[in-house]
Amino acid sequence: MTPSSYATLIERLRAWSCEPCAALFLIDIRHLRSVNRIAGAMEGDAVIAQVEQVLGEWVGKHGIAGRLWSNEFVAARIIDHTQVAIDDAIDLRDRLSALHFHAPLGDSPVSVAIGVRVVRPGVNWVEAVAEAGEACEQSKRLGLNQVSLHSTSGTTPRKPPVNAGDVTMFRRLLANGQLALHPQPIMDIRGPEPKLRKAEFLLRMEKKGVHMPVPAGTIETLEYFGLVSELDRFSTQFILDWLADNRSALDRLHSVSINLSARSIVNGRFMDELLRDVRHAGLPAGKLSFEITETAAIENLDIAAEVIKSFRSVGCGFSLDDFGSGLCSFGYLQSLPVDEVKIDGCFIKEVAQSGASQEIVRAIHQVAHATGKRTVAEFVDDPRKLAALQEIGVDYAQGWLFYPTVTPEKFLELVAARD
């Protein structure tokens, strides 16, 4: 069995008869990079060859198997009824996890994750592969050598399939000048009356004279194809140009911020170019801030810490966005040199009426302050929530209680009329 590209594999599946019912398996060989590092690239190649051989023998002459890319493989074979799909996946898991690779400290077993999608004639194979991939991701979250069946019950939200058309749309909007960043004001709520002191600039597209968020899944698609730095490059250039043109407004603000994706943070070339551009802009210290999500920061902890250190040396601040939505470990607040923690909106939603939510927000705020960081509450849309946050002592808040996103021109008017 020779490695198959994604497009070739999809064509093979489309030409394949899956009467009356079939199961599609997406297999992830776990930690293959570690195998290459520990045992050498030749041993990693040997693992891939063994997996291909097992898959080819397992599906037989009437099934399909192929390497999707890197450490991911696809297998499909006819089944009698849907109930046996998991049994087949377990059998496949046991065969693959029986494989070993040779390492300096002795032979070690191969580990896998398998996602299963039951299919019938007429299935959209692109969506089916994406859905098997979602099930495989669930298997990886469960641990090693786990199997998950994709559910079509609708009881759990499903990510939209990756759509290459989103890339085309994004690039067309970019080329036509239909993308912009619109600020959402952030209020200082430490006094009795909230005061406009900051803003988060968010991506908006223009369609028939109306500005709106880009379609759901666009940013995830750009990340999937490794193209999200194109978006971040546009965003950072937009904000640097805006700051250069509006120094007087900047003098009246604590700071403005934009989001950086996880993929851009670990893109050394992009971050080096951005650091050079920020240094060249000569901004006053503390006026420009970057927001990175808690999950992105923790998944790339060492890199994130180095990036933050480099940009703080040229006067930039950093916010830890969506704090609490991911791993929510207070220990990271001490090790990450961010200036600000943005409390995820899921905790703000019930802060006015739920004692548990209030205590969670209070704990985040207290630990953040103990480590020298300010706090920002997201999605504040009710005066009762504002009152609860002020009682806790949260520093800043943003949300529709104050302002939605506004055009840059409107924001300048708000800043001018602030006092």
pLDDT top residue among 220 and 147 = 147
Domain ranges of the chain: 6-149, 164-416
pLDDT at 381 over 70: yes
pLDDT of residue 47: 86
pLDDT of residue 1: 44
The tens digit of pLDDT for each residue in 248-299 reads 998 999 999 999 998 899 889 999 999 999 999 999 999 999 999 877 777 7
pLDDT at 152 over 90: no
Question: Which residue's entry shows tokens 């959209």?
Answer: 124
pLDDT of residue 157: 44
**Is 331 exposed, middle or buried (CB count within 10 Å of its CB: 0-12, 13-18, 19+)?**
exposed
CATH superfamily label, 6-149: Reverse transcriptase/Diguanylate cyclase domain (3.30.70.270)
pLDDT at 226 over 90: no
Q: How far apart, in Å, are the Cα atoms of 381 and each of 207, 239, 262, 356, 398?
A: 27, 26, 28, 19, 8
User: What is the average pLDDT score of the chain?
Assistant: 89
- Cis before residue 20, ω within 30 degrees of 0? yes
CATH superfamily label, 164-416: EAL domain (3.20.20.450)
Range name among 51-65, 318-332, 389-403 with the lowest pLDDT average: 318-332
The tens digit of pLDDT for each residue in 298-344 reads 777 788 889 999 999 999 999 999 887 655 567 777 778 899 999 98
Dist CA 330 CA 365 (whole Å): 11
